[in-house]
């Protein structure tokens, strides 16, 4: 009985977190259309989320076939646009790859936009365990980033120019 109550409270606070973020999204980051049923990310880029799971490199290949890359997030506005797309896409919080990868100790964006300048790491991240060189968003709470082995299967979202 107590366990049930605790579980209900956890579910309720997760729903509250989502509702609060959705309000911010409605007020500040309403969805804007891009060609081909994608959404606007910034002045130069569109973005979309897909229903397939893949390891990081396959996910990047998938995005290349869509004419782009895994998404790079360069400032708070990019971050919120991506977060709001994920919030609107599904009720539950699923981990998605972002285009950040560590090589020789340094993270950079696979679309070539350089080293990470803006980050939203979850507490204790990035961890420096061996072979956790790729990054997902939505770990532990909405939007938070975590390193994972690149061979893990996670959901795909992509950016492309447009
Ligand atoms: C955020 O970065 C993008 C490039 O990723 C840029 O186009 C946009 O103008 C920047 N927005 C702000 C508010 O700095």
Q: CA–CA separation, 55 vs 16, rounded Å?
A: 31
Looking at the CA of residue 43, tell me the nearest atom of ligand 1.
Answer: 7
4: pLDDT strictly greater than 90: no
| Interval 70-84 mean pLDDT | 98
| Domains of the chain by start residue, with CATH | 2-161 (3.10.100.10)
Q: How far apart are CA 95 and CA 66, in angstroms?
A: 20
List pocket residues of ligand 1, CB cut-off 6 Å.
42-44, 74-75, 77-78
14 pLDDT band, cuts 50/70/90, is confident
Q: Give the residue, out of 74, 83, 110, with the most ligand 1 atoms within 8 A of its beta carbon, to mutate for a pocket test.
A: 74
111 in Cβ contact with 59 (< 8 Å)? no
């Amino acid at each position: 009985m107590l366990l049930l109550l605790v579980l209900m409270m956890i579910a309720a606070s997760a729903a509250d977190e989502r509702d609060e973020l959705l309000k911010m999204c409605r007020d500040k980051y309403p969805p804007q259309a891009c060609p081909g049923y994608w959404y606007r990310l910034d002045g130069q880029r569109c973005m979309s989320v897909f229903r397939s799971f893949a390891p990081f490199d396959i996910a990047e290949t998938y995005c290349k076939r869509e004419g782009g890359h895994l998404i790079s997030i360069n400032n708070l506005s990019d971050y919120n646009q991506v977060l709001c797309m994920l919030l609107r896409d599904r009720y539950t919080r699923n981990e998605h790859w972002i285009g950040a990868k560590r090589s020789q100790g340094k993270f950079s964006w696979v679309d070539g936009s350089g080293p990470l300048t803006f980050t939203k790491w979850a507490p204790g991240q990035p961890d420096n365990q061996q072979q956790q060189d790729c990054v997902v968003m939505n770990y532990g709470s909405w939007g938070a980033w975590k390193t994972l082995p690149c061979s893990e299967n996670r959901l795909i979202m992509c950016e492309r120019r447009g």
